Amino acid sequence: MIKKESMQVISSKEIAKDTVEMKLENSYISETAVPGQFLHILLEGHSLRRPISIADVDKEKKLVTILFKKLGSGTEQLAEVNSGALLDVLGPGGNGFTVDTKGKSTVLLIGGGIGVPPMYYLGKTYANQGINVISVLGFQSKEHVFYEEEFQELGETFIVTNDGSYGDKGFVTNALHKVGKFDNYYSCGPLPMLKAITNKLQEKTGFISLEERMGCGVGACFACVLPTKTEKGYKKICSDGPVFDAREVVL
Ligand code: FES
């Protein structure tokens, strides 16, 4: 259940160009968060909260890790928040990924840019349950690459950069031919990437996380509606998602 909580900033550092890793402490959110859920953070002087996906959780230490890109005044301000400060957070938000190991041996994770973070907590959860994890991660260029080693610890990892300055050149879809057999795929990233992935992997069962367009974050304002092929028609990204069956949504 989503709750209003206070989270203490334990550490904050830039781990790639314009990309910040922040660790936050909170018992309730670290105990209850599942991969694919998000924190809805209210910054001082702002009236709207900002959704940021959960990249990792350490239940023992009660820590939640978020990774975000400094894109505009809100995230620039968040990057400046010092250790020890308290953040006003609604969380954990939305419906995350269902981690189901039944009948599975291998899962494929496909993350693009700031869609990479939620893939990490999901991959770690699967790897801890004995499932093979293959990751394909896309970034703009070498200086934007983050968490490569962390993903490699989970399993085989392919890096793609748009300009070819590191790994393969192009988009994540260009690297899919390198991937062996897998059962399900999971993806998060920009909309054009998700469109390309869901087209290319039409025959496979996949789940995608959509994190754009949010207002209230709790199902009350309709800022995040998305057409679906289900009987219900439109669904809300913040409360029905952000994770959807790839064949259910109209992108
Ligand atoms: Fe308000 Fe989803 S953001 S309903």
108-128 pLDDT, tens digit each = 999 999 899 999 999 999 999
Q: Would you state the pLDDT for residue 222?
A: 87
Q: How confident is the model at residue 73 (pLDDT cuts 50, 70, 90)?
A: confident
Tokens 């790639």: give the residue.
16
Q: Would you state the pLDDT for residue 183?
A: 96
Task: Kindly give the number of the ligand 1 atom that is closest to the alpha carbon of 219.
Answer: 4
Report the C-alpha gap between 186 and 205 in whole angstroms. 9
Q: What is the dihedral of CA 130, 128, 197, 69, to 10 degrees?
A: -160
Q: Would you state the pLDDT for residue 251?
A: 87
Which of the residue ranges 26-35, 132-141, 235-244 would you say has the lowest mean pLDDT?
235-244
Q: Would you state the pLDDT for residue 141?
A: 97
Structure tokens at 64: 């939640």
121 Cα–ligand 1 center, Å:
24
Report the C-alpha gap between 133 and 191 in whole angstroms. 23
Q: State the first-to-last Cα distance of the chain, in angstroms, to the nearest integer.
A: 28
41 Cα–ligand 1 center, Å:
14
Where do you find CATH 3.40.50.80 in the chain?
106-211
Task: Kindly give the number of the ligand 1 atom that is closest to the alpha carbon of 239.
Answer: 2
Q: What is the mean pLDDT of the chain?
A: 95
Q: Would you state the pLDDT for residue 126?
A: 98
Q: Would you state the pLDDT for residue 217?
A: 86
Residue 147 above 80 pLDDT?
Answer: yes
Q: pTM for this structure?
A: 0.95
Q: Would you state the pLDDT for residue 230?
A: 86
Where do you find CATH 2.40.30.10 in the chain?
3-93
Probe target for ligand 1 pocket from 40, 42, 48, 216, with the most ligand atoms within 8 Å of CB: 216
Q: Give Cα 119 to chain centroid, integer Å.
A: 6
The architecture CATH gives domain 3-93: Beta Barrel (2.40)
213 Cα–ligand 1 center, Å:
8
Residue 47 above 90 pLDDT?
Answer: no
**Pocket-forming residues, ligand 1, beta carbon under 6 Å:** 214-217, 219-224, 236, 238
User: According to CATH, what is the number of the domain 106-211?
Assistant: 3.40.50.80
Q: Would you state the pLDDT for residue 231?
A: 84
pLDDT tens for each residue of 228-238: 998 888 999 99
Q: Would you state the pLDDT for residue 198?
A: 95
